[in-house]
Amino acid sequence: MVGSSIKNVVCRQILDSRGTPTVEVDVTLNNGVMGRASVPSGASTGANEALELRDQKDSYFFGKSVLKALKNINNIISPAIIGKNALKQAEIDNIMLNLDGTQNKSKLGANAILGVSMAVCRAAANYKGLPLYAYLSGGKGITLPMPMMNVLNGGKHADSNLNIQEFMIVPISAKSWEKALKMCAEVFNSLKNLLKSKNLSTAVGDEGGFAPNLKSDEEALKLLSMAVTKAGYQPQKDFKFALDVAASEMFNYATQMGYAGKYYFWKSKKLYSAMELLEYYQHLVANYPIVSIEDGFAEEDWSAWDLMNNKMGKKIQIVGDDLFVTNPTRLTRGIREKSANAILIKLNQIGTVSETLKCINLAQQNGFKTVISHRSGETEDTFIADLAVATNAGQIKSGAPSRGERVAKYNQLLRIEEQLDKSAVFAGSKVFK
Ligand code: PGA
Ligand code: ZN
């Protein structure tokens, strides 16, 4: 056994930001160095995501406990990786893939596998005495990402009457991460004052953004423009906007109501065909400084995606989240069919660090933009901040500059920028070119 061999794996059930149980793993190496990681959880999850194993026992933690996942770590994963070299991430991830043997990690649970995968990675970085981003990239990761901060929450993430799940601000004129964060925090606070002045709710949704009841989704974009102006910035020049529609939800609602193939915006009670929805997006982009739309169509509505990317992909970023689920196989189809021009990256959609890196590589090699993302259920773990820098992803979304689990990622990026010092590069506005 060498110093970097895995000596011990300890796991526990902790809570995420919604008060729901999740998996935390500690991996200790032979020389005593430890790595800890915890697993996030989505609400608007894609049907093709790797399986999050939950116990489904109603009487205990409302069915959401993860004790089976812990058992799988203790009884199956741990015995197979103890003694293995933590520096060999791909090898360890492969051992877990083989132990699981399913397409969607349903035997062991993606939450069990990912917790171990991330903890091994951290332990290895600590063994090398390197920050996670430097270890992950072999020193090549130097780019601080442009943030897309979700300041107004709708859809499944909030009780507001907004249909679109995320209204995000993008500090397009920022020249550093520190400045980007400051600009977003200023607009966030300006938005709060604006809502207060209109007697609107300033309570926040799952991702830290405000969740007011407004006249319409379009009204939200008007409010954002006002908040930007009131903070002393100019919409278009200093700030652009980004949307995550999470349209698989609208698609599923319509199907349940007997309108298969259409989109039901259940909060405003409007039914759209794919064509009508595309026209609606074109209207929004023509009238507001929108630079990116994520999940404008449902995860299996490939032809609508192709059409949207064809019509709008030259002007704005078209991001596949539920469509690609960080899965190289689905991304390969999207590249072939030109279904989008960017991919959202979530570690727990695919379930190992190695497969996540593979997916990012595939995207970048094919000219796709990459956006590293949190989940609506998060923990204090800041892995994604380091991942964004390590892969020179160019973009990150981790919610509003509010709520500890969101801000933890943004603060980690401040530290990384400070540490990289003169070698730090900020992605800047060119990331959308
Ligand atoms: P989720 O939302 O974590 O609830 O899936 C985030 C997103 O859709 O991007
Ligand atoms: Zn999304």
CATH number of the domain encompassing residue 424: 3.20.20.120
Q: Are residues 30 and 168 in the same domain?
A: no
Atom of ligand 1 at shortest distance to CA of 295?
Answer: 8
* Rounded Cα gap, residues 139 and 56, in angstroms: 43
Mean pLDDT (whole number) for 49-75: 97
Q: Are residues 405 and 356 in the same domain?
A: yes
Last residue of a domain, one of 85, 102, 129: 129
Q: Are residues 251 and 377 in the same domain?
A: yes
Q: Are residues 415 and 303 in the same domain?
A: yes
Kindly give the residue spans of alpha helices, DSSP state H, lying in 63-138: 67-72, 78-81, 89-100, 110-128, 132-137
Domains held by the chain: number: 2
Q: Say if residue 62's pLDDT is above 90.
A: yes
Q: What is the pLDDT of residue 58?
A: 87
CA distances from 34 to 31, 129, 368 (A): 9, 11, 35
Q: How far is the CA of 257 from the centre of ligand 1 (A)?
A: 23
Q: Are residues 380 and 310 in the same domain?
A: yes
The CATH number of the domain holding residue 123 is 3.30.390.10
Q: How far is the CA of 244 from the centre of ligand 2 (A)?
A: 5
Is 12 within a domain?
A: yes
Tens digit of each residue's pLDDT (9 = 90 or more) over 83-129: 999 999 999 999 999 999 999 999 999 999 999 999 999 999 999 99
Q: Say if residue 1's pLDDT is above 80.
A: no
Is 138 within a domain?
A: no
Q: Are residues 108 and 159 in the same domain?
A: no
Is 235 within a domain?
A: yes
Does the predicted TM-score (pTM) go above 0.75? yes
Kindly give the residue spans of alpha helices, DSSP state H, lying in 288-352: 302-312, 328-337, 347-350
Q: Are residues 200 and 252 in the same domain?
A: yes
Smallest Cα–Cα separation from 92: which of 392, 352, 369? Answer: 352
Q: Are residues 227 and 125 in the same domain?
A: no
| Active-site annotation holder among 24, 52, 186, 207 | 207
Q: How far is the CA of 287 from the centre of ligand 2 (A)?
A: 23
Q: Are residues 235 and 296 in the same domain?
A: yes
Is 134 within a domain?
A: no
Q: Say if residue 15's pLDDT is above 90.
A: yes
Tens digit of each residue's pLDDT (9 = 90 or more) over 140-179: 999 999 999 999 999 999 889 999 999 999 999 999 999 9
Q: Are residues 28 and 159 in the same domain?
A: no
Q: What is the pLDDT of residue 284?
A: 98
Is 161 within a domain?
A: yes
Q: Are residues 233 and 97 in the same domain?
A: no
- Residue 125 is which amino acid? A
Last residue of a domain, one of 82, 98, 129: 129
Is residue 346 part of the annotated active site? The answer reads yes
Tell whether ligand 1 has an atom less than 6 A from the beta carbon of residue 43. yes
Last residue of a domain, one of 107, 129, 151: 129
Share of the chain above pLDDT 90, in %: 98
Mean pLDDT (whole number) for 237-263: 98
Residue with CA at minimum distance from ligand 1 atom 1 = 42
Is 1 within a domain?
A: no
Is 214 within a domain?
A: yes
Range of the domain at 80: 6-129
Q: What is the pLDDT of residue 16?
A: 98
Is 379 within a domain?
A: yes
Band the pLDDT of 44: cuts 50, 70, 90.
confident
Q: How far is the CA of 343 from the centre of ligand 1 (A)?
A: 13
Share of the chain above pLDDT 70, in %: 100
- Over the chain, what is the mean pLDDT? 97
* Rounded Cα gap, residues 8 and 31, in angstroms: 11
Tell whether ligand 1 has an atom less than 6 A from the beta carbon of residue 321. yes
Q: Are residues 13 and 45 in the same domain?
A: yes
Q: What is the pLDDT of residue 433?
A: 85
Q: What is the pLDDT of residue 259?
A: 98
Mean pLDDT (whole number) for 222-235: 98
Return the ligand number nearest the Cα of 373.
1
Instruction: Using the structure block, give the residue that is written with the tokens 């709008």.
Output: 312
Mean pLDDT (whole number) for 282-288: 98
